[in-house]
Copies of this chain bind each other. A is one copy, B any other.
Amino acid sequence: MRKTSKLSEVAKIAGVSPITASRAIRGVGYVSESARARIMEAAAQLNYTPDMLARRMRGDKSNLIGVFVNNYGSLVLHEVTRAISAEARARGYDILLFNAERFDSPARAGTVDMLSKLCDGLLLVMPNGADGYLDVLEQHGMPCVLVHYDARTVQLPVVALENRNGARLAVEHLLALGHRRIAFMAGTSHTGQSDEREKGYKDALRAAGIRADASLVVGGAFNQAAGNAAARQLLELRRPPTAIFAANDEMAYGAIDAIHSRGLKVPADISVIGFDDIPLSSHVFPPLTTMRQPLAELAARAVGDVVTLAQGGTVAPVKTAFPMELVIRQSTGPVLARTAGEK
């Protein structure tokens, strides 16, 4: 690997000391016109670029925001990071996305540590509440904001969704359509979001005077495969649900697949509602009724907060929850007379 040119080389060619060259290149302090000219000339000739690694080691800014994610691959995550990326760049920051299942594994500790040194601020997207790294960060004082997190309280600003309330709204929509036997498909409980959504589901049922039926709560992961499996399980019940509330859109897709492959129709036989409203939900068949999250506002807030922190400002370590909006498309419909009567 060809060595990249360094400041001392530039300085030598220009016939000055490294520090003078440094000043000229950064444009600070006094440098005579002639010296400056020679230095710039030499730098151009050598194609010199300052070594940010070295600068950073001395504590300078990097203009980089680190985005830490786990389970890279989910579509919501993709949408969230995309929004964050757009927002960050609009503010003059670049994004460094780091993917790790957990951040507290000893093998990863060094990397994580280095990245947090490298970046001016950190955004943890959908972090695992059980991850010990959260505690490290909490004490560390590093500018850091949690995004899409709804688990145990940490002393860090959190930008999240009104998961519980949004879920209640979703189920109320189903209730309003006459459904009484409503299933919930849960994701993982890593971030706490699924748990909150489940609470909202139960809130709505309780308010409607419907007793919870444990066999109607299924699932286990936020992806299509899990949604598919969970739906199959529901369909095999002696009394299957007439409607399914999936903890996210991707699970809903999987559920719809399972229903179709049983020869049943959505929403004629079973209604399905998702959560997140990722862009593709209006393209699947049938177009998915779901709860929309205000992605842009959320990203703007998250990035705004880290940037404030990174620039020495203060942000209270509290959770800001954004409201969800019901988007009615075609995967939900009134409960059929025959099924409704069955109850």
Contact = CB atoms under 8 A, between A and B. Distances in A.
Interface of A: 1-2, 4, 47, 49-54, 56-57, 62-64, 72-73, 75, 78, 81-82, 85-86, 89, 94-100, 108-111, 113-115, 117-118, 136, 139-143, 224, 253, 256-257, 279-280, 283-287
A24 to B, nearest CB: 16
B85 A94 contact: no
A141 B1 contact: yes
22 contacts: A1-B140, A47-B136, A49-B109, A50-B110, A52-B110, A52-B114, A53-B114, A53-B117, A56-B114, A62-B114, A63-B111, A72-B82, A94-B98, A94-B99, A94-B111, A95-B99, A96-B115, A280-B280, A280-B283, A283-B284, A284-B285, A285-B286
Contact of A53 (B47, B56, B136, B283): B56
Contacts of A256: 283
Given A57-B57, A111-B52, A1 B285 contact: no
Q: How many copies does the complex hold?
A: 2
What are the 9 closest A-B residue pairs judged by CB atoms, nearest first?
Answer: A285-B285, A52-B114, A97-B97, A1-B141, A73-B82, A283-B284, A49-B113, A52-B110, A78-B78
Contact of A64 (B53, B111, B140): B111
B285 A110 contact: no
Given A82-B73, A94-B111, A118 B53 contact: yes
Given A141-B2, A284-B284, A51 B100 contact: no
Nearest to A143: B1
Nearest to A108: B94
